Amino acid sequence: MLSLDEIERALVITAHPDDVDFGAAGTIANLTDLGATVTYCIVTDGQAGGFDDSIPRPKMASIRREEQTKAASKVGVSDLVFLGWMDGEVESGLELRHDLSRVIREYRPQVVLTQSPALNLRRIYASHPDHIAVAQSAIAAVYPDARNPYAFTDLITDGLEPWAVDEIWVMGHPEPDEFVEITPQIERKISALLCHESQHRDPSGMMDRVREWNAETAQVAGFGADAFAEAFTVVDTR
């Protein structure tokens, strides 16, 4: 696993606004504090999220883009790419792999952070079909698509040369093998999550759950009492 101070550019690919904040906002804050440039690529606008029936779905999309932009600013991220796919209708395949390969070639990250491609029946909320589809396509875009000059040749025509990502960091995988301590960043992570006002019926309950999850992760990692951590499964793609 690359150390945080070795990373100059990272790209986060998730299905919905707020996915990155649950899975990796503390790690992102660590990276930006160290001077890394982090870009978010959000595949859908989260139109199917929320709980307020009075909000039209197109308006929800714009609300969620605004919320994610505010949340990103809490952890030092100002560069966001919204692909505009329909929430709840994402399928893994060549079209999405093409879109993600374009983003990878444009931003040329050393590390891509994405969601788990594995269906986890013990943690079904992490296994939303959009999450799995985005993860599968993101991993395929990293290897082999974005680095292959003979894949999606229109990208070459557009001036986007092949790019090989060094590592994929998978959030929410049932078998994590690397941990990042986020104790100094836990309040920034919570602050980012609170920006997603349209998604939280019980903000205080959400904050308690997130602190509990990240404290349990820190204990598994051996960081000790009163620590917080995020977990990843790291894939070497060099």
> What average pLDDT does range 66-74 have in this prediction?
98
pLDDT at 30 over 90: yes
Helix, strand, or coil (residue 10): strand
CATH of the domain at 8: 3.40.50.10320
Q: What is the pLDDT of residues 75-84, one digit of tens each?
A: 999 999 999 9
Contact 15, 133 (CB under 8 A): yes
Q: What is the pLDDT of residues 84-98, one digit of tens each?
A: 999 999 999 999 999
- 143 pLDDT tier (thresholds 50, 70, 90): very high
pLDDT at 226 over 90: yes
- 47 pLDDT tier (thresholds 50, 70, 90): very high
Task: Give pLDDT, residue 123.
Answer: 81
> What average pLDDT does range 7-32 have in this prediction?
98
d(CA 180, CA 4): 9
Edge-to-edge strand ranges of the sheet holding 9-14: 79-85, 37-44, 9-14, 111-115, 167-171, 229-236, 178-181
d(CA 95, CA 136): 12
Task: Give pLDDT, residue 110.
Answer: 98
Task: Give pLDDT, residue 122.
Answer: 83
pLDDT at 171 over 90: yes
Tell which residue, 38, 39, 91, 82, has the closest CA to residue 64. 82
Task: Give pLDDT, residue 150.
Answer: 97
- 27 pLDDT tier (thresholds 50, 70, 90): very high
d(CA 24, CA 34): 16
Q: What is the pLDDT of residues 96-112, one digit of tens each?
A: 999 999 999 999 999 99
The number of domains in the chain is: 1
Domain containing 84 equals 4-236
Task: Give pLDDT, residue 8.
Answer: 98
Q: What is the pLDDT of residues 194-212, one digit of tens each?
A: 999 999 999 999 999 999 9
pTM: 0.97
Q: Per the structure block, which two tokens stand in for 145? A: 């698509």
Mean pLDDT rounded to a whole number for the chain: 97
